[in-house]
Chain A
Amino acid sequence: MSDKPGRSALRTQRRYLPAHILLALGGLVMVFPFAYQIVMSLSTNAEISSVPPTLWPEQLQFVNYVEVFEKLPFLKQFSVSVLITVVRTLGQLAFCAMAGYAFARMEFRGRGLLFGLILAILMIPGQAYLIPQYQIIQGLNLLESPWGVVLPGVFSAFGAFLMRQTFMGLPKELEEAARLDGCNPWQAFTKIMLPLSAPGLSAVAITTVLWSWNDLLWPLIVTTREESMPLSVGIATLAGQHSSDYAVMMAASVLAMAPIFVLFFSMQKRVIAGLATSGMKG
């Protein structure tokens, strides 16, 4: 409203001009594949496979989006995707925050070794896990089930490591004060440390949501019926052996990512920034 802050804000932005240019250019490079995907989703397959590629379709093919619903049980698969993503993200947040906290702040024998062993699960080619994990899930009678899709991914070395780093970066004083006030470790963790670790938690949440939503190989192995597949797998079934219906695949994938985009765009400020400041105040 008032004149003065407005002018100083403008001055700030002018000072930031190089930053704006750099970020806008960099952002363009990052966004390009997604933009191209949208163009492809509105093209014909002939246009997509032309040489050199057409950069803009002669006529926008919105019909590709209609076809998605004819070729896939889209809503059913969408709900499977939502379910497995929510469960996996919540599970990972819980297990990883707890373990990360212990690795960062508790002293116990074998801590380093144990942490190393957890990290080591990332060091072997993922496909080596495929068959044994399939047999475990089969043994638990969880094939076809969303739980079978979720289970191995809930246990994440990545999340535990990131949370460890987050907790190690937090000041010790608050926690010590809490302990002096008679909090047990669980109380200190949930009441003091967890709110403070919000930026780390949100980073784990964001990446887990994206990974889970896009995950292909494992859910593809575990689910065989079209209605128990998540969207990522459903979309992959559109690919043929000799040629693929790229236009519809791209349209399906745009539809699949749209809610994630909206969720992320509307939440990111609150998730990353908001919780962090409230934590600092607490």
Chain B
Amino acid sequence: MSAPAQVGRRGRRSPTSTGYWPILFVGPLLLGVLVFYYYPIAKNLYLSFTKSNAFGGNTKFVGLDNYEALFSRPDLLSAIGNTLFYTAVVLLAIPISVLIASLIELPGLKFASLYRVLFFMPYLAMPTAITQVWKIVFNGNFGIINQTAKALGIEDPPYWLSTPGFAIAAVALFGLWSSIGFNVIILSAGLKGIPRELYEAASIDGATQWRQFRAITVPLLTPSIFFLTIMQTIGGFQLFDALFAMIGSGNPAMVQSRSLVYLFYNQAFINNDKGGGAAVAMVILLFVAIVTAVQFIGQRRWVNYV
């Protein structure tokens, strides 16, 4: 009972806020992040105000030129639009994943471990195999989707991967599919943290399963759901790999399907303009940071931490 005295004055506010402990706990990660990530970010910020040759030599300070060039790009708006669209679709995977995860974790469900594994399978497949399959699915000549559409009487179904508009939709569907596995892993873990007694008590009170889902599962999953929302938003804004794998640079639909990161790649790696690429990267950072900050402020309304 003498413990509170030892904890001290600051400890009264919160039992763990003592002295230098946070440095010990956060320090190792912070050090690594500073060296391996903030040094590059700082360098990138500097580069964004310069022009140099393809290999970083001959650097000249050019002020805001790179940013002006970016904001006068005719494809900037559509890149923002495509990125937002993709992110929105990928976020739709979260409610679907909540449903799947809570079905898998139903008490006493048979084959639960098998189902869990099935939903992680996309991680086990080789990216080349995955894109190959999806390209076959979306193929305009013989793809499963168009064959089905024709069987249903749709005369001239679109060439998904080579028609502007449809192409980004196909990539977004692919993104939605790919994110489910990750979501389910996280949500399964979140569900395991919910005490079974809560459900038992609710059952005794006569709550239906749907009611239990709404009143217990979803609220107690909100920390995990919030986590996924943030991660998928940040990830959605980084759309590039899926776009490149599914559409590719020679595709006539690519011009209208570009994402923000594509602009970065285009500037830094195709046009060999390091400064211009760095400016795109900084704008993406700022943009995502604002969106994420808003989400963090908004979380207080809907996320329950015990």
Contacts and interface: CB of A to CB of B under 8 A. Distances in A.
A64 to B, nearest CB: 14
Interface residues on B, range: 35 or more
B167 interface: no
Contact of B103 (A12, A19, A131): A19
Nearest to B281: A128
B278 A128 contact: yes
Nearest to A279: B193
A103 B22 CA distance: 8
Contacts of B193: 166, 169-170, 199-200, 276
A236 B187 CA distance: 32
Contacts of B210: none
B230 A161 contact: yes
Interface in A7-21: 9, 12-13, 16, 19-20
Contacts of A34: 121-122, 124-125, 129
Contacts of A143: none
B25 A30 contact: no
Category for how many chain A residues contact B: 35 or more
Given A118-B33, A124-B41, A175-B16, A207 B182 contact: yes
A214 B109 CA distance: 31
A23 B26 contact: no
Interface string B219-230: 010011011001
Contact of B15 (A26, A125, A179, A246): A179
B108 A9 contact: yes
Interface in A135-181: 136, 151-152, 154-155, 157-158, 160-162, 165-166, 168-172, 175-176, 179-181
Given A19-B103, A31-B121, A127 B16 contact: no
A154 B37 CA distance: 12
A203 B188 CA distance: 9
Contacts of B39: 132, 136
Contacts, number: 298
Interface in A87-101: 94-96, 98-99, 101
Interface stretch (A78-86, A220-228, A264-272): A264-272
Interface of B: 1, 3-4, 6-7, 11, 13-18, 21-22, 24-26, 28-30, 32-33, 35-41, 43-44, 56, 100, 103-104, 106, 108-111, 113-130, 132-134, 136, 139, 141-142, 177, 180-182, 185-186, 188-190, 192-193, 195, 220, 223-224, 226-227, 230-231, 234-235, 237-238, 240, 261, 264-265, 268-269, 277-278, 280-282, 284-285, 288-289, 292-293, 296, 305-306
25 contacts: A20-B110, A23-B103, A23-B118, A26-B118, A33-B132, A34-B125, A99-B30, A108-B17, A119-B230, A123-B237, A125-B261, A127-B265, A128-B281, A132-B39, A162-B186, A172-B306, A179-B16, A189-B25, A203-B188, A246-B128, A249-B126, A253-B126, A257-B125, A272-B188, A273-B192
